[in-house]
Structures are given as structure tokens and as C-alpha cells.
Structure 1
Amino acid sequence: MNKPAEISQQTTTYYFIRHGEKDRSQSTSNPDLLPKGQKRAEFWAEVLADKNIELIYSTNYKRTIQTATPTAEKFGLEIKKYEANNLFSEEFQEETKGKNVLIVGHVDTTPKFINKILGKEKYKFIPDNENNRLYTVKILPSEKKKSSFKHYHLK
């Protein structure tokens, strides 16, 4: 069987998280994570440990990169940057097809990205005080799309 046909028979799974708790005392639009946010980043690496993550994407902000880093280190992956205004491009779809992908974003970019994949407005902005949602979006070989989210609380 040739490679393109093989890939088309696989499920693509996207895992979306929002960055961990950021340091709001920093007077910058690009703050670091708080210690609690760093702990949450480590926690996400544990939660995702059995998901066979093959690619990791993050917006180009310290807080999202810091959130993605523990998972990237766990899987030995490089963090790829994505532009929030170019969500679910053809290039992205081709690169991620048939893979398990982590995408780290924000209160607004995460629901927009998911909605773009689904082709409908299913999710609204994430409440600003919630950094604990894991969204899962699956594109089945039939091209049917499924999504869900679950709250994960720090231990």
C-alpha cells in the first residue's frame, strides 16, 4: 500500500490546551507563567504521556511555549510555532494528517482553531480563570469529526 493511501486510513487527533496560569503582575503582553502555571505545564505532560504525541504547536508567546515545553521534552519533540490568524491551513492539515498533535493556545485562539477544524461554531471563549481544559478533536478516516473536552485538576 502506498504512503498517501495509508495516511488517509488513519485518524488524526488534535489535543488542545490553553497555556498555564500567567504572571499578571508583569507589565507586558508576553508574561511568563506563574509557578502554578509551570506546575500545570508539567501536569499536562503527565496527562498526555500515553497519547503518543507526534507534533506540538504553540503560539509564539512565552506562556504558551513554557506550557508546551514539558510535553515536548517528554516526547523529544521541537515546538512548532503557529500563527493564530492562519488556523488550520492546508499545509497544517497535510503535516498533521494521521498524527497525534498537541496545540497550545489562548482563551480565544483555542476555540477558534477547534471551530475551524469542525467547520462550525461549537466552542466559545474559554473563561479567563480556566486553564484546566483538554479539548480532543478527532478526524476519522471517513472525514467525520468528533470533539469533546474534559476538565483536569492539578493534583
Structure 2
Amino acid sequence: MRKLLFLFLFIMTSSLYAQEVTTTYFLIRHAEKADQSKDTDLSEKGFERAAKWDQALQHISFDAVYATVYKRTQQTALPIADRNHKTIIIYDHKNPDIPKFKKETLGKTVLIAGHSNSIPGFVNALIGKSKYKEIDETNFGNLYIVTIKGDATTDYQLQF
């Protein structure tokens, strides 16, 4: 009986460790801004785009929503954060601690709003390759999706 119990516990423990955790990141650039000042709000078009991001991602349940300290990134992410009943978490887009970030978000589905010069680098750091270049200043429609499952990483770039 003891051997049977030990075998059962061994099989159950082994199967738990065999299951790989999946983490999914959705990364977007902030929407159109009202003016060129350092910490400006979104423009009317920007608020419309933020609502469109929320609509495009409406079937995704986010565990966490990250944005930079700037109003434009927070305003872009806010509809998604509100829909998911999440508080926006501020991150340092100039110096992100990727290993710590990956550890904190392990097994979660995460939205990250950033900037034309930071989001591609963030994606590159997540995937461990220098694949994506800075986003053109006129482009506000890139969506990057990174999925990490065990040692396997997949990444996509979509245009909206």
C-alpha cells in the first residue's frame, strides 16, 4: 500500500512539474498625443484609438496593465485597465529590469503601453533577440504579442 501511495504521489508531482506556465505580453505604443509637450494628454484621435485598442482586445482578460509615467501611455491603457478592473502599474521604460519583470509577470497575461523608441526594445529584451526597430513617429497601430511557454518564445507584430 505504501508503494502504491508513493507511486501515486510521484506521478502527481511529476505531472505538476511537467506542465509549463504560459506568459503572454501585449505591447502597444501610446496613441496620438495632443501636442509636442513632454507630458501631454492624448488628442481626441488618441482617445478614439485607446477605445479601439480596448475593443480590439476585448476578449483578452488581462492580469496586469503596465504604462510609463507619462499621461499619454496611461490614457492609452486606461480603457483596458478599467475593463479588467486593474490599476495601471508604472514601469521605467528607459531602464526596465526584464528578468525581474518576467519573474513578476510569470503565468500572466499582460498589457504594456510605451513609446515608439521603447516598445520595440522591450519586445527584443523579452524575446532575447534584436528583431524589432523603433516605431515611426506617425505609426500608432503596432501590436506586439510575445508568448513564453517554458523555453519556447513566440512573437508576432500586427498592424491595426
Task: Quickly name the TM-score band, shorter chain normalised.
Answer: 0.7 to 0.9
How many equivalent residue pairs? 147
1:118 to 88, 111, 127: 127
Range that drifts further, 79-88 or 121-130: 79-88
Confirm or deny: 8 A CA contact 1:115 1:122 kept in the other structure. Answer: yes
* Normalised TM-score (structure 1): 0.88
- Identity level (%): 38
2:25 to 5, 10, 14: 14
For structure 2, the residue ranges without an aligned partner over 5 or more in a row are 1-11
What are the superposed Cα offsets for residues 95-139 of structure 1, whole Å, 9 maximum, x if unpaired? 111111000000011001001111111000001111011110111
Q: Which runs of 4+ in 1 moved over 4 A?
A: none
Confirm or deny: 8 A CA contact 2:98 2:125 kept in the other structure. Answer: no
Residue 56 of structure 1 aligns to a residue whose secondary structure is strand
Give the structure with the higher percent helix.
Answer: 2
Confirm or deny: 8 A CA contact 1:17 1:133 kept in the other structure. Answer: yes
For structure 1, the residue ranges without an aligned partner over 5 or more in a row are none
Matching residue's letter, 2:23: T
> How many angstroms apart in 2 are the aligned matches of 1:85 and 1:108?
9
> How many angstroms apart in 1 are the aligned matches of 2:97 and 2:146?
13
Residue 115 of structure 1 aligns to a residue whose secondary structure is helix
Confirm or deny: 8 A CA contact 1:111 1:126 kept in the other structure. Answer: yes
Residue 144 of structure 2 is aligned to residue 104 of structure 1: no
Q: CA deviation at 1:94?
A: 1.4
Q: CA deviation at 1:37?
A: 0.3
1:42 to 48, 51, 56: 51
* Normalised TM-score (structure 2): 0.85
Residue 159 of structure 2 is aligned to residue 151 of structure 1: yes
Matching residue's letter, 1:39: E
Residue 67 of structure 1 aligns to a residue whose secondary structure is helix
1:69 aligns with: 78
Q: CA deviation at 1:88?
A: 4.3
